[in-house]
Each structure stands twice: as C-alpha cells, then as structure tokens.
Amino acid sequence: MTGEESLRPQSLLLTFLGDQVLGRDVCVYSGSVIDVFARAGVGEQATRSTLTRMVKRGLLRRQREGRKMYFGLTEHSAAVLRDGEHRIWQTGAVNRHWDGTWTLLGFSLPESWQRQRHDLRSKLTWSGFGPLFSGLWIAPGEVDVAELVSELGLAAHVKVFRAHADAGMDIGAMIEETWELPELAARYEEFVRRWEAWESRLPDADDALALRLRLQAEWLEVIRRDPRLPVKHLPDDWPAERAEKTFRAVYDRLTPLAQEASERLLDLMPVRPDQA
C-alpha cells in the first residue's frame, strides 16, 4: 500500500494544523481547509466529516466569527503535534547515538483477556517494542511506558526493566528475529520512490502547500512505525538515511512556494481570549 492510499484525512488534518496553527494562537477557516485538502485529493465531504469527528474526540475546537466557522487546537492535539514535530526535526529517522540500553517489558495476562492483550501489543508496537518472546517485549533505549500501561489499567500485570546485552550476544540477529526489517525498509524505499523526483521539480504555486502537507504527513507515518533500532546493528544498505535526505530536500524545495500559497489561500483568525 502506498503512502497516498494509506493516509487518513485525520493524519493530514493534524499535519496541516501543526504546520499552520501550532504555536501561533490562531484558528483556520473551514473553507480554507476544504480548499487545501481538495488540492491534496481529499473531497469536501470527507474533510467536513473529519473536522466534526475531531471536535467530538477533543482534538479540535470551534470558534465562530459571523457566518464562518474556524477551527483551532486543543491542549491534547497540541501535545500530539509537538511530539510529532520533535520526532521529525530533532529525533530523526536514524539512531546513531544508541548507548546500548534496552527496555524490557514482561507481561502476564489471564487467558480470557484477549482484548487487553491485543490492545497492549498494539500500543507496544507503536512505542517501538518488538516481541522477544511471547510475554517479553524489547525496545532500544529507555522507553517510558508508565502512561501507556496506566491507560490500559494493566500496571499490576506488567514489569519493566532496563538492560544491556551480554558481550557474546548477536544483537543484529536478535533484531532480525524480533522486528520485520524487510517491511520497515520497504516503507522507506517506497517513500523515496514517491518523492525523489520532487528534489528537482516544482509544482504549481497554489499546489505547493498541499504537496508539502502530504510530504510531511507521509514522512511522519513512516517514522512513527520505526522503532529507531541502532543503525550499527542494521544492514549496511539500510534506507532510512536516504529517505530522510529526500524528505528534507523536498521539504526545503517546496517551502518558499508553500509559504506564499499559505498567505494567499488561508483565512486565519486570532484565538479569542474566551476561547484560549
């Protein structure tokens, strides 16, 4: 599945708001969102439904100005976006500075707790863990899982440790057995295939904002699925670095046009004091 097929409107909308609203104390007019999303290939009805759904989930808030409806961030969505911003621009896709530490998480749940087991495994996967054994999961570095475990109500059933591998341990082999490296590499390779042509091309001016929006959303989807395994224990041709270079090159190339387009296309309104 390509990034274009798999991206959800909610992912695009959060990326859009992180790019245009986060840290600025402004809201954006719904018509502006519809316009930009149409250029990104998302229909008006899907955009309106996404806005409504995200308000109900506490990810957006509304501010009416005359007959127009503007949308802004909540504290929760702002926190989510700051995390994504940090992952893109500070953490990056390539883990060159791993200190040898692993986080081990063991759990034992009653046999009848199938839903809880599924939820825990899903959360662990998104947090960078892989299954070392059936009830013992591992992630590189020091991963704080306290909130994750608390949300699921499983604190009494989970044990967490920090560890280092024995000197004779074949870490590369362990990584290959624990994580789906071919699947992860394929995501990076697909990203490069989809975007490398834009390293030397420019879109029409009004399409630059939507194109950069899709670029950022697709890149965040790729790196959020990456457990950031230590690069020195990955195959020599690991494609993450090439993909990151493509992302940054295309982003830099699109940004001047995207900024001009945002000034023309976006209707922004300061957050009212009673709405802050």
Cα–chain center distance at 124: 15
What residues does CATH 3.30.70.2360 cover in the chain?
Answer: 102-164
**Element housing 253 (H / E):** helix 240-265
1 band by pLDDT with thresholds 50, 70 and 90: very low
Regarding pTM above 0.85, the answer is yes
What residue spans in the chain does CATH classification 1.10.10.10 cover? 1-97+180-276
CATH no., domain 1-97+180-276: 1.10.10.10
Amino acid at 43: G
- Is 31 in contact with 48 (CB distance < 8 Å)? no
More confident residue, 9 or 179: 179
- Region 232-253: mean pLDDT is 95
Q: What is the pLDDT of residue 276?
A: 52
Which of 141, 118, 117 minimizes the C-alpha distance to 129?
Answer: 141
Measured between alpha carbons, how far is 140 from 171 in angstroms, rounded to an integer? 11
pLDDT score of 248: 96
Q: pLDDT per residue over 32-58, tens digit each? A: 999 999 999 899 999 999 999 999 999
Residue 252 pLDDT greater than 80, yes or no: yes
The fold of the 102-164 domain, in CATH, is Alpha-Beta Plaits (3.30.70)
Whether residue 251 has pLDDT greater than 90: yes
Rounded Cα–Cα distance for residues 179 and 86 (Å): 24
What pLDDT is recorded for position 86?
84
pLDDT digits (tens, 9 = 90+) for 60-87: 999 999 999 999 999 989 988 998 888 8
